[in-house]
Amino acid sequence: MGSPLFFRAYLPLLNIREARANYGVLEKCGIPVIKPTLFLGSEPNLHNTVLHLADIERFKKYGPIWGSYYGRMPHIYITEPDLIRRIFVKDFDHFKDRQDMELGGEMLNEIMEFQKGEKWKQIRTFLSPLFTTSKLKQMSTVIAECAQEFIRDLRKECENSTNGGVKIHCRNRFTTCLIDMFVRTMFGIKIEDGKNPGNTFGKAFREMLHEEHEYNWLFTLTQNTIKSRIESGSSSTKGFLDLLCDFWKRIEAGEYSELGITQTTQCIAQGVLFIVGGYETTSYALSHLFWRIANNPEIQEKMHVELKQAISCHNTHSIDHELINDSNIPYILACINETLRLYPSVYRPERICTKDWSYNGISIKKGTCVMLASWAANRNPKFYQDNPEVFKPERFLPENKGTLEPYAFTTFGFGPRNCIGMRFAYESMKLFVCNIVNNFRIELRPDTELKYKPASPISIAIDPLYLDFVPRR
C-alpha cells in the first residue's frame, strides 16, 4: 500500500528535477541571466508576451547579451555586432545548424531553412542560382506587371468610392497580391481570381501558416506542376520551376538518397518555401513602410518627387528594373532600408552551438541555442545615435554609408545561412513601393492602429492595419 503512495508523492519532485535539469548552464557562460522560476523556465508568461518588444526592454536592462531558459532549454540572446559576426560568420562551423522545430506537417518540416548539415548545404547550393542578376532581371518583368495590376485594381475601387479613396486592410491586400506574384514568378502560373483575398490559393497559404486547416491539395498542385514541366521540357530561361525539375530528376536518379532527400518532401517543400517565406515578410515590410510614411507626409512627398524625377529621365518613362536601380531612387531605397531596420519580420534568427565555443570571456556549451535579437540589435544607440526609434531614412543615403555598422542591420541575417531571397525581396519592394507612391497618397484613418500579437513563434504578426489610399491627381 505504501509504495504507490510513495511514488505518487515522489513523481512531482522528479518532474520538477527534470524541468530544472539545465538550470545553471547559462550562469556559467559569463552573461546576465533572466532568473528562472521553480520549473517553468525564465518566461512562464511567454504566450502573453510580444517577444520582439520584450527583447528591446531586455537589451536596455541586461546589455548586449543575456540568457533565458525557454522551459528547460538554455537560450542566449545577442545584439553586439562583433559577437554577431563571430557566431554567424567567422565561427560558423560552431554554429551551423538551427534548432529542431515541428512546423505541423511532413512537407513543412522539410523546408530548407530548418535542415541541418550536408542536407541543408546541398539544397542551398542547388537553389542559389535562382537569384543571379540575370534571373532577377527576368523575374522583374513579372513583378512589375503584378504591381501595375495592383494599381489598376485600386484605381477602379477608388472610382466607385464616395470619398475618392479606398480603405486598405494592409496585410490582406498585400498578401493576396504577393501570393499571386510569387506563384507567377516561381511557377509561371496565373491564379484565377488572384486579387480576391478569399481565393483558393490564398486560403491555402494562410492555412499553411495555421490560420486555417487543410492544405494537402497545395502540395499536390506543386507536384503536378513540376511533373508537367518535366514532360513538356524545360524552358530556355531556366527559372525556379526548371531548377526544381532538375532537382526532381537528380533525386529520382538516387543522387541524394544518402541524405534522405526525397521528391515529395524536398522538391515540393522548397517550391512552397519561397512563396510562404516571401509573401508574408514582404507584406509585413510594406505594411510598416506605408504606415510610417502616412505618419510622415513630408517623407512621402520627398519619395514622390524623387520618383517623378527618375521617371522623367528614364528612356521608357515607366517603372521597371532599370528605373529602380539604387542610384536612381536613393531616397526611396533609404526609406525601405529604414523600415527593414526598425521592423525586421524574422525577429530572432537562431543558431545551435554544435561544439563548445568561447570568446572574450563568454563560453557557450554545445546544444545551446543562440538567438540574434534583431529588434534590439537594430536599435542599438551605440550605432544609431540620433534616437534609434525615429524613422530617419537619411541614415541610409549613399553619403552616410561609411558611418553605418553592417552588423547592426540584421534584418536579412548573415553568413552562409543568410536570407537566400534578399535580392528578390528588394526588387519586389522597390517595384511595389514606386508604383504605389507614384499613384497614391497614403493617409491615416481614425481606425489606424499598429498593434502586435503576442507569442508569434517565428515572424512578427500584427492585428489588422487600415490605411487610406487616395489617388494622386
**pLDDT tens-place string over residues 65-117:** 999 988 778 999 999 999 999 999 999 999 999 988 766 666 677 788 888 88
How far is the C-alpha of 208 from the C-alpha of 144, rounded, in Å? 27
> pTM for the complete prediction?
0.90
Tens of pLDDT, residue by residue over 196-224, are 666 666 666 556 554 444 445 556 666 77
pLDDT-based confidence at 37, cuts 50/70/90?
A: confident
Residue 61 has pLDDT above 70, yes or no: yes
Got the DSSP string for 98-129? Answer: ------SSTTGGGSGGG--HHHHHHHHHHHGG
The DSSP letter of residue 90 is I
Residue 430 has pLDDT above 80, yes or no: yes
Amino acid at 169: H
Q: How many CB atoms lie within 10 A of CB 189?
A: 16
> In this prediction, what percent of the chain has a pLDDT beyond 90?
53
Residue 28 has pLDDT above 90, yes or no: no
Residue 9 has pLDDT above 70, yes or no: no
pLDDT for the residue 211: 42
Query: Span 232-244, mean pLDDT?
Result: 69
Higher pLDDT: 190 or 355? It is: 355
Which residues are CB-contacts of 86 (< 8 A; sequence separation ≥ 6)?
Answer: 359
Residue 18 has pLDDT above 60, yes or no: no
CA–CA distance from 28 to each of 15, 22, 69, 364, 461 (Å)? 24, 11, 13, 9, 35
**In this structure, what C-alpha cell is assigned to residue 169?**
486592410
How far is the C-alpha of 338 from the C-alpha of 345, rounded, in Å? 13
Tens of pLDDT, residue by residue over 122-175, are 888 888 888 888 889 989 999 999 999 999 999 999 988 888 889 999 998 998
pLDDT for the residue 343: 97
**In this structure, what C-alpha cell is assigned to residue 289?**
513602410
pLDDT for the residue 237: 56
Q: Given the DSSP bridges, would you call strands 440-443 and 466-471 parallel, antiparallel or unpaired?
A: antiparallel
Q: Given the DSSP bridges, would you call strands 369-372 and 73-78 parallel, antiparallel or unpaired?
A: parallel
**Residues 28/368, Cβ–Cβ less than 8 Å:** no
The DSSP letter of residue 327 is T
pLDDT for the residue 304: 98
Which residues are CB-contacts of 375 (< 8 A; sequence separation ≥ 6)?
Answer: 52, 53, 55, 56, 344, 347
How far is the C-alpha of 385 from the C-alpha of 395, rounded, in Å? 10
Residue 239 has pLDDT above 90, yes or no: no
Strands (E), 220-374: 350-352, 357-359, 362-364, 369-372
Query: Span 311-325, mean pLDDT?
Result: 95
Nearest to 77 by CA among 101, 59, 53: 59
pLDDT for the residue 249: 84
How far is the C-alpha of 329 from the C-alpha of 308, rounded, in Å? 10
Nearest to 94 by CA among 348, 370, 346: 370
- What is the distance between the terminal CA atoms of the chain, rounded to a whole angstrom? 87
Q: Which contiguous run of DSSP H or E holds residue 67? A: strand 65-70
Domains and CATH numbers, the chain: 12-105+347-392 (3.30.43.20)
pLDDT for the residue 260: 80
Residue 248 has pLDDT above 70, yes or no: yes
Residue 284 has pLDDT above 60, yes or no: yes
pLDDT-based confidence at 277, cuts 50/70/90?
A: confident
Residue 1 has pLDDT above 50, yes or no: no
Q: Which contiguous run of DSSP H or E holds residue 206? A: helix 200-208
